[in-house]
Amino acid sequence: MKLLVTGAGGMLGRAVVDAATRLGHDVQAVTRAELDITDAEETRRALASARPKAVINCAAYTDVDGAESDWQNAEAVNARGAGNVAAAAAEIGARIVHVSTDYVFDGSKREPWLESDAVAPLGVYGETKLAGEQAIAAVNGAHAIVRTAWLFGAGGKNFVDTMLTLGAQRDELSVVTDQVGCPTWTGHLAGALVELAERPQETGIHHIAGSGSCSWNELALEIFERAGIDCRVLPATSEQFVRPATRPAYSVLGSERRNPLVLPRWQDGVAEYLATRVAA
């Protein structure tokens, strides 16, 4: 199948390109420098020229805190840009697989969020990602919107790399215990996104993230144990780390789909990512 991957220079985009190539697809990787998805006409021309069977949209504004003061750019990419890609795909009869976020929820539940649960983002990032979901659904019926969470992987800023760096420099770190989610390795998610591109019958919203859940504190402990780093992890609360954007306290994703795509355990994702770093 001919696939076009937007945002191919980013952390997730790179993993998707690698996964699709390994699976034998004809992949056109498009970076932000090569395609500005906020330009509707440029996006239309690019897709009309490439004529893929499916588009996997990994292009996104992902700076959660930065979005609070830079909402125009966040909206341009996450909402309007996503809609541009979906509309351009619809014009050529292409399917779109789009990546969204657990941050469309307010974190008020204490059991996994399902695809049909009411959305109520707490910040600009979640608001613009939700607007992107809505824009896509409005212009392209052949869509799969994938909400995922707590991404980490090669080629981009992420929590695992930050902990590895800080853990090597310090004897102890304070990490929050009151935010719980599903850490997801891009290497696992990428394969699921490609699989969805291959399944035109699988439309609508999908929740796909690392299996299981933990707090950021528990994730840090797992990282240090597996990496053999001797750094004490102290408990902390979100109130001790005031940030521009409020995070949901509980954003664990579950699925009510009949045959959901299930990723390996988040612990396995940490182990495999660390192994790829050693190999590299």
Q: pLDDT tens digits for 225-261?
A: 999 999 999 999 999 998 999 999 999 999 999 999 9
Q: 100 in a domain, yes or no?
A: yes
d(Cα 170, Cα 212) in Å, to the nearest integer?
A: 29
144 lies in some domain: yes
Q: Is the full-model pTM beyond 0.85? A: yes
% of the chain exceeding 90 in pLDDT? 98
- Tens digits of per-residue pLDDT, 165-176? 999 999 999 999
Question: Given a cut of 80, is residue 220 above it in pLDDT?
Answer: yes
Handedness of CA 73, 60, 102, 202 (dihedral sign): positive
Instruction: Assess if residue 280 is contained within a domain.
Output: no
Of the candidates 7, 12, 10, 15, the one whose C-alpha atom is nearest the C-alpha of residue 55 is 7
Overall number of domains in the chain: 1
Examine residue 102 and state whether it is found in any structural domain, yes or no.
yes
- Average confidence score pLDDT of the chain: 97
Instruction: Summarize the confidence of residues 267-276 as an average pLDDT.
Output: 97
What is the structure's pLDDT at 22? 96
pLDDT at 211 exceeding the cut of 80? yes
Q: Is the pLDDT of residue 279 over 90?
A: no
28: in domain: yes
Whether residue 259 contacts residue 117, with contact meaning beta carbons closer than 8 Å, is answered with no
pLDDT tens digits along 37-84? 999 999 999 999 999 999 999 999 999 999 999 999 999 999 999 999
280 pLDDT above the threshold of 90: no
Q: pLDDT tier at 210 (50, 70, 90 boundaries)?
A: very high
CATH of the domain at 55: 3.40.50.720
pLDDT at 278: 82
Assigned domain for 136 exists = yes
Is residue 201's pLDDT more than 80? yes
Which domain range does residue 40 map to? 2-157+184-211+253-264
125 annotated active-site: yes
**Within a 10 A sphere around the Cβ of 62, how many other Cβ atoms?**
21
- The answer on pLDDT for 120 being more than 80 is yes
Residue 10 placed within a domain: yes
Residue 51, CB-side half-sphere exposure with 13 Å CA sphere: 1
Considering the domain boundaries, does residue 269 fall inside one? no
Question: Could you say which of 61, 125, 250, 273 is catalytic?
Answer: 125
